[in-house]
Amino acid sequence: MTRQPAEFRHENLLRELTPQVLGAVIRRFGDFGAAEDAVQEALLAATQQWPKEGLPENPRGWLIHVAARRMTDHLRAEAARRRRETEVASDPSREPRVVPSIGLPSLASLVTNAGAARTLRDTEPDDTLILLFMCCHPALSPSSAVALTLRAVGGLTTAEIARAFLVPESTMAQRISRAKQSIRTSGVPFSMPTREERSDRLASVLHVLYLIFNEGYTSSFGTRLQRTELSGEAIRLTRATHALVPDESEVAGLLALMLLTDARRAARTGPDGELIPLDKQDRSLWDQASIAEGVELISRTLSKGAVGPYQLQAAIAAVHDEAQRSEDTDWPQILALYALLTRMSDNPMVALNHAIAVGMVHGPRAGLDRLKALDADDRVAGHYRIAAVRAHLLERAGEYEAAIEHYRMAAERTTSIPERDYLTSQAARLAAGETANDE
């Protein structure tokens, strides 16, 4: 069941309507899992019929109508199946019998129970948000939540999601089906989380959106393009979430962080997919429109108060993006932001970046001193990133032999191919006696 985005010009409209249509169908029939399948079938029908018959006058109503019809068929088949099972069980000859598929008394109650008072055209602006809360529920594993969100809220097909994550379609289908099963068994209602739950649940949503964005940053040979689309999809979903809850400052912060990071996409890899670090990037390739939008958004958000980690990371990204040249970077400002971030979250990766900023402002020795504390932290001791940062600081301190050793150590430990290649080349460059191209 693959739709073809490139050839189908209504793809964006469909993807935007997906959560609204799904929300309407769930409100009418309940059963998130079956409703989600019915909506996918309606999306497929649209890609087949709209190019031939033209865009319907009310695309959303059309989709809801088709999905509701599929849902009715599904419920009818389920009722028939249940009845058949009962009859077979009670029939001593155990001969399967054909049961008429219409006019079952149980059907009417099934169909009308869930939302008799509503018409199918009703969609609620909050449906997209409720769906996000459901799909990113903490009962789901991160990979399940990511897959389900992309399908149920993002409107991607299982085949598209499988391609993006480089797993077989059948595996992705099972992952999504299990995720739906978890939602069913955990009994998450289709409604907004309570006031008490809200901030934790919103944090889960933001984490899942962040994971989707980050996945898009993995580059593997021949698949970079599809994965890049994941970052675009994460931005689209975060933008939609921000539009629904403009006062949630961390949602705005995450959107700004994504925009400001994604702005550097064209500059961050070379022609062969090799990694180019921030200080060596061709800044003329940065997307100025994304930077302007991200900077405006984070400035406006920070001025409102209630600062959180995503906002601070966005602010740091903004400082980088606003520097015309690497040497213009306002490192004291970045250092101050990391100091705030370190106080807010006990994340060793934040502490690591803090050490980099210390090294830029107070010199490599001060940065190396900072790193020592991390060696004692079980969560990251031996992590390749510590070795990579240490190598860089040692090189700046003129300790080339030790720097080579740590670059190599980091290269052995990373699980990212572009990063391994980058670190290996750094070690090779130093070993060949080239030391001047750093500062």
Instruction: Give the pair of three-digit tokens for residue 392.
Output: 């860089």
With CA atoms as reference, report the closest residue to 32 among 166, 160, 132, 100: 132
Separation of alpha carbons 429 and 395, rounded Å: 11
254 binds another protein, rule: CB under 8 A: no
Question: Per-residue x/- marks for another protein, 150-189, CB under 8 A?
Answer: ---------------xxxx-xxxxxxxxx-----------
CA-based nearest residue to 306, from 235, 244, 241, 245: 245
Give dist(CA 423, CA 159) in Å, integer.
Answer: 34
Which of these, 319, 329, 313, lies nearest to 439 by C-alpha position? 329
Cβ nearer to another protein, comparing 248 with 321: 321
Nearer to another protein, 70 or 175 (CB): 175
DSSP 416: -
- CB neighbours of 138 closer than 8 A, spacing ≥ 6? 200, 201, 204
Q: What is the nearest approach in angstroms of another protein to the Cβ of residue 310?
A: 16
Q: Which of residues 350-409 bind another protein (CB under 8 A)?
A: 356, 385, 388
Show the site string, 270-289: x = touches another protein by CB under 8 A, - = not: -----x-xx-----------
- 132 in contact with another protein (CB under 8 A): no
Stated length of the chain: 439
Q: Is position 228 an interface residue for another protein (rule: CB under 8 A)?
A: no
Specify whether the CB–CB gap between 319 and 334 falls below 8 A.
yes
Nearer to another protein, 104 or 167 (CB): 167
Q: For another protein, give the closer residue by CB, 11 or 169.
A: 169
Regarding 438 and contact with another protein (CB under 8 A), the answer is no
CB nearer another protein, residue 113 or residue 141: 141
Question: Would you count residue 86 as binding another protein (CB under 8 A)?
Answer: no
Q: How far is residue 288 from each of residues 235, 283, 329, measured CA to CA in Å?
A: 16, 10, 17
Of the candidate spans 13-21, 325-333, 398-406, 413-421, the one that interacts with another protein by CB under 8 A turns out to be 413-421
Instruction: Candidates 48-56, 58-66, 88-96, 142-150: pick the segment binding another protein (CB under 8 A).
Output: 142-150
# chain residues binding another protein, by CB under 8 A: 41
Tell me the closest approach of the beta carbon of residue 412 to another protein, in angstroms.
12
Measure CA of the first residue to CA of the last residue in the chain; give whole Å: 52
Which member of 261, 290, 301, 313 binds another protein (CB under 8 A)?
Answer: 261
Residue 97: in which H helix or E strand, if any?
A: none
- Regarding 47 and contact with another protein (CB under 8 A), the answer is no
Smallest gap from Cβ 269 to another protein, in A, equals 9
CB 323 within 8 A of CB 278: no
Q: Is 229 in the site for another protein (CB under 8 A)?
A: no
Structure tokens at 317: 């990204």
Angstrom distances, CA of residue 233 to CA of 180, 228, 256: 21, 9, 15
Instruction: Please compute Rg for the chain using Cα positions.
Output: 26
Tokens representing 14 are 């469909």
Beta strands in 128-273 (DSSP E): none
Binding mask 199-218 for another protein (x = CB under 8 A): ---------------xx-xx
Member of 106, 143, 226, 435 binding another protein (CB under 8 A): 143
Binds another protein (CB under 8 A): choice among 128, 219, 249, 313: 219
* Residues that bind another protein in the complex, under the rule CB under 8 A: 141-144, 147, 165-168, 170-178, 214-215, 217-220, 261, 264, 268, 275, 277-278, 356, 385, 388, 414-420, 422
